[in-house]
Structure 1
């Protein structure tokens, strides 16, 4: 049996007023008991203090201990002490993704099919508006399906308040702003901004559609490669190889940005370019972090010539 003292990190924990406590894990030693076992014992003492809200760390260390690590690997000794912090109400990552992508799926049909309510009159949609509507709906429907059937998440939950921040740029920029722009009278079939321009050229639009389909399928391929690296229910990580990964660490981000770049070019919309810039910044930051983590974890085994997100550039 192993025993561990659990103390509050900083101020007292409202859902665990009795801290510090000593928990015992019967039948296990530090070689077999895990951080998750300690969290489960805390829940037994304080039923409202759910596992997802708990952040365990070593004393004088702010780094969270990983649930599936043994106490020995986490640096916890028999009779040692860990601290616990309340992370607040949590929500599942999968749920957050579903909420994020649901926004544009609801917003775009409202602007597309109800122009009298939005713009005060009917709008005869141009070819480019029709293409953008179909492409946007298919993109986010694909993302919803991937969230349910493809993605595997190393972290189970995030703070509930993050759902608003994470959903904001999808709901506002690729949702309301883009829809308001490309389904407006300025993009109608009779608008001088459309008639006689490349935005109404079937050959140009079909070429854009072809590149967009290539980007979407390539993005899906990258997601499948990442999925197959991690067995279900594990945090296992490996070095991704194959299509796209020979050039960059995060081809899924590159191909998604390529798809949005196509929409920006074919429409010339300020909203499309704004969303592309925001998404490009966010995903580049994510990619740099992932690239560094790959190099830190795998060292010399990680391909040296592989860029971060943009082939041959960054």
Structure 2
């Protein structure tokens, strides 16, 4: 939403004083840094299973692939480098962030980055045990990455092309997103991010990644519901406003 105009007599709002570009950039780069620290830090105390290691027992056909941790590290770093680039060149932020939101983001991404990096270390006992799941999970991860990036570019296009005849613009300058997965759900970028982490979970079978997936699903379900509700409230079909597509769901096509 657009920022509210403050009167000269209003007290300064110190609770929302951080640039979202700075906060998100530090969070995403920090996730990479903490992952790498956890992965390469030597003389680290031994952490017991299942906090580290692969949860899936070997079927005897695949054997032991200790190099999988390095491939998974590349996938993690790719995701957050892409997110960092999007923060700088794709996303548009309309509000500043408060202390809780700012420091909460750093803790969330840094702690999970460290735990995931630690849990996928070969010298900590991580051995990927099932090649078919690794391949399927990695492919699903890239499907999610492409879908997430394309959805973000679509949102960027909506903001930069407000006069497109396919869009309905309101006084708030908001438009109804259209095209591709936006025809089915209000937040396809959230859906594809979940797909990325489902793929990463299938490829890793690590407890840290499963917990991270659960936290991501919960968070993005809440965000998508709030965004979907806001769309339906604003585009209610009254006073000449467009009616938000009634069959469009918040996050999962035809379901939620």
Tell me the TM-score normalised to structure 1 length: 0.65
Worse-matched range after superposition: 134-143 or 105-114: 105-114
Deviations 1:89-111 (A, max 9, x none): 61111111101101111012222
Partner Cα distance (1:146, 1:98) in 2: 9
CA RMSD across the alignment: 2.6
For structure 1, which runs of at least 5 residues remain unmatched after alignment?
Answer: 1-63, 69-80
Alpha-carbon distance change, 236 to 118 in structure 1, aligned in 2, over 3 angstroms: farther
Instruction: Compute the displacement of 1:160 (Å).
Output: 4.0
Structure 1 consecutive aligned stretches of length 4 or more whose deviation exceeds 3 Å = 184-189
Partner Cα distance (1:117, 1:299) in 2: 60
Instruction: Compute the displacement of 1:266 (Å).
Output: 2.0
Instruction: Compute the displacement of 1:215 (Å).
Output: 0.7
Residue equivalent to 1:132? 72
Residue equivalent to 1:212? 141
Q: Does 1:104 align with 2:46?
A: no
Deviations 1:43-62 (A, max 9, x none): xxxxxxxxxxxxxxxxxxxx
Residue equivalent to 2:56? none
Greater RCO structure (CA 8 Å; 6+ sep): 2
Deviations 1:245-275 (A, max 9, x none): 1111001011001111111122221111111
Alignment of 1:158-169 (within 5 A): 158-169=97-108
Partner Cα distance (1:166, 1:134) in 2: 22
1:118 aligned counterpart, secondary structure: coil
Partner Cα distance (2:138, 2:76) in 1: 12
Deviations 1:71-130 (A, max 9, x none): xxxxxxxxxx9962431161111111101101111012222233x23246xxx9724312
Deviations 1:267-302 (A, max 9, x none): 221111111111111111111111011001111421
Residue equivalent to 2:81? 141
Instruction: Compute the displacement of 1:231 (Å).
Output: 3.3
Instruction: Compute the displacement of 1:186 (Å).
Output: 4.8
Q: Does 1:238 align with 2:175?
A: yes
Partner Cα distance (1:65, 1:126) in 2: 50
Alpha-carbon distance change, 113 to 160 in structure 1, aligned in 2, over 3 angstroms: same
The answer to whether the Cα contact below 8 Å between 1:249 and 1:291 also exists between their aligned partners in 2 is yes
Larger radius of gyration: 1
For structure 2, which runs of at least 5 residues remain unmatched after alignment?
Answer: 47-63, 162-171, 238-242
Instruction: Compute the displacement of 1:312 (Å).
Output: 2.1
Residue equivalent to 1:91? 18
Structure richer in strand, relative to its length? 1
Residue equivalent to 2:193? 256
Residue equivalent to 1:295? 232
The answer to whether the Cα contact below 8 Å between 2:187 and 2:251 also exists between their aligned partners in 1 is yes
